[in-house]
Amino acid sequence: MKQTAMRQADFTLLFDLDGTLTDTDELHFHAFRALLAEHGRELDHDSYLRHVHGSTNEAIMRALLPDIPERHQELAERKEKLFRASASRLRPTPGALRLFDWAQANGAAIAIVTNAPRANAALMLDRLGLASRVDALVIGDELAYGKPHPLPYLAGLARLGGRAERACAFEDSPSGIRAARQAGLHTFAIAGMLPEAALREAGADAVIADFNAPELWRWLEQAYIRASQT
């Protein structure tokens, strides 16, 4: 990962990781199913979306395994090992490399803001070939509050000397969208497992299929021009 000194960023791009920079939903779903099966329990897609998608491990364990709180940390670690064992073929979301190239060419800083454990985030960024192109990695569980609290996005901006009016965020979950919007960020939602209506209801300014969306590039051009003039 790049070592970026504190500075006033020309522009800042803040990315969620799971489901945003790469499609991991099925991997996480199957990892949680395997974990619960070890304890004689089941998980369907509706429950996954309701209790798991975009949440912290602490909240997930409280929802899925409320009767054994003393084992939550152990079981969360077990689930993440199951996930990492299956994460050998991750691919960047279409257009992600193009957007990272744009950031490098235009002096924009990049932060990853995720509720994923640090070991997962490091593995995913390495597999995606993006680790050396990231200026800051913000892990929600290492802060006082994770998403949907805005603190992780505020921390990402602070670490890069960024300002919300000269930045944007990319998310795929309602909790992440709420966190980014409460931090004052223009927020693009990546369409995935959830319907567009749910993403817009959470506060997304726009819903795009991937990072090649013309709407994104029109907005970036206009926003970067505005930032350059201030």
Q: Which amino acid is at 211?
A: F
Name the active-site residue from 16, 25, 135, 172: 16
Active site residue 46: no
Sheet holding 206-208, edge to edge: 136-139, 108-114, 11-15, 167-171, 186-190, 206-208
User: Which of 61-65, 79-83, 119-123, 163-167 is least confident?
Assistant: 79-83
Mean of the per-residue pLDDT values of the chain:
90
| pLDDT score, position 2 | 64
Name the active-site residue from 10, 18, 126, 135: 18
Each residue's pLDDT tens digit, 158-206:
999 999 999 999 999 999 999 999 999 999 999 988 899 999 999 999 9
CB 189 within 8 A of CB 208: yes
| pLDDT score, position 58 | 85
pTM of the model: 0.82
Q: Comparing C-alpha atoms, which of 164, 170, 177, 222 is closest to residue 9?
A: 164
CB 138 within 8 A of CB 33: no
Measured distance CA(181)–CA(44) in Å, rounded: 29
Each residue's pLDDT tens digit, 204-224:
999 999 999 999 999 999 998
Active site residue 18: yes
Measured distance CA(225)–CA(170) in Å, rounded: 20
